[in-house]
Amino acid sequence: MPTLINRILNRLSEHLDGPLLVIAGLLLLIGTSTVYSATYTTLSRVPSQILNITTAFAVMWLVARTPPTTLMRFAVPLYVVGLALLVLVFLFGVKVNGARRWLSIGFTRIQPSEIMKIAMPLMLAWYFHKHEAALRLKHYVVAALILAVPFGLIAKQPDLGTAILVGAAGFFVIFFAGLSWKVLVGLLVAGASALPFLWNVLHDYQRKRVLTLLDPSSDPLGAGYHIIQSTIAIGSGGALGKGWLNGTQTHLEFIPERHTDFIFAVFSEEWGLVGNIVLLVLYFLLIGRCLVIATNAPTLFSRLLAAAVTGSFFTCVFVNMGMVSGILPVVGVPLPFMSYGGTALVTFALGLGILMSIQTHRMLVKK
């Protein structure tokens, strides 16, 4: 019997990367305990999150067993389907709280923009891999167009948080494909010059978020409420925090969206500066391991895809902690493996599965 159990365990774990699995597991454990603390009056969140984790692990396991060459074959179909769904959302999407982000399919609603978080880096990595032998400036222009269309459709919904993540994933692929620094500097200058135009394009609530970032006290009970309450929670945690389940800002319900986008404020209040350092170390180790996998990937497609996933993790961590700390505008970006929610967790698990697929199949090739 022990031999059979060992065989089953070996079979289940043979395509999984140990360091990534351990780090992600620790983050999920911390995240689930923080979700419990943030929502202990409604205990249904924890069983639901455990179900989300189980689903995410199954997705990660399946993707990890899929060779990168097979993933490459899904690049174009997935991108085309995702783009078609975004167009359908633009034309027939369900409008909720002023945002048209969802598509009704009868028994439920789906958010097609989530598909692009994976489809975009897959598509661009496939495109550069296809033209690897003779990359020219025109290929980077085409890649920029491939990125710009879905980015624009998602930003139009409006869903600035998802647009930022999709844009970041695409940018990392283009950058690591060998984009010239001269071109990059030129784009930065052009972007800075276009800021007045971009400001006029922003929705009223998005402009208000930027202005509130500069002076939250200008609207303490409105647009500035999120930033003010989250920074109070972070500051009140001090060096060692108030202890698990003892966060007053959390349990008196001052922190908005405390189990999703603002879960970092809950964690900071309970565990303080020391807890935040531990959390940052875990994310540093996660991103470091991802970079090692990207560096050692055997093909251009694998390297670009791994770099895009790594960049997406970094962007999510940086933007989420930045907005909760009051140094970036508030946008809907979850904290990886910490925030409550099934869709985002499955997306992060897909990223882990892709990295594990690249790593394990590289090792198989070496053997």
In the chain, the number of structural domains is 2
In this structure, are 34 and 108 located in the same domain? no
In this structure, are 150 and 260 located in the same domain? no
In this structure, are 353 and 213 located in the same domain? yes
pTM as predicted: 0.89
Q: Looking at residue 311, what is its pLDDT?
A: 93
Is the C-alpha dihedral spanning 318, 324, 330, 336 positive or negative?
Answer: positive
Look up residue 34 and give its amino acid: T
**Residue 103 DSSP SS3:** strand
Name the more confident of 258 and 216.
258
The residue range of the domain holding 288 is 26-65+202-362
Partnered with residue 96 across adjacent β-strands are 99
In this structure, are 171 and 311 located in the same domain? no
Q: Which of 268, 262, 212, 205 is nearest to 236 (CA)?
A: 268
Name the more confident of 111 and 177.
177
In this structure, are 170 and 265 located in the same domain? no
Q: Looking at residue 77, what is its pLDDT?
A: 94
In this structure, are 39 and 119 located in the same domain? no
Partnered with residue 110 across adjacent β-strands are 103
**Interatomic CA distance for residues 53 and 37, integer angstroms:** 18
Q: Looking at residue 1, what is its pLDDT?
A: 52
Q: pLDDT, tens digit, for every residue of 18-72?
A: 899 999 999 999 999 999 998 876 777 888 899 999 999 999 999 998 999 899 9
Partnered with residue 94 across adjacent β-strands are 102
The dihedrals phi and psi of 185, each to the nearest 5 degrees, come to -65, -40
In this structure, are 147 and 220 located in the same domain? no
Q: Looking at residue 156, what is its pLDDT?
A: 84
Range 297-308 average pLDDT: 92
Neighbours of 54 (CB within 10 A): 10
Residue 280 tokens read as: 């940052």
Evaluate whether residue 19 is within a structural domain: no
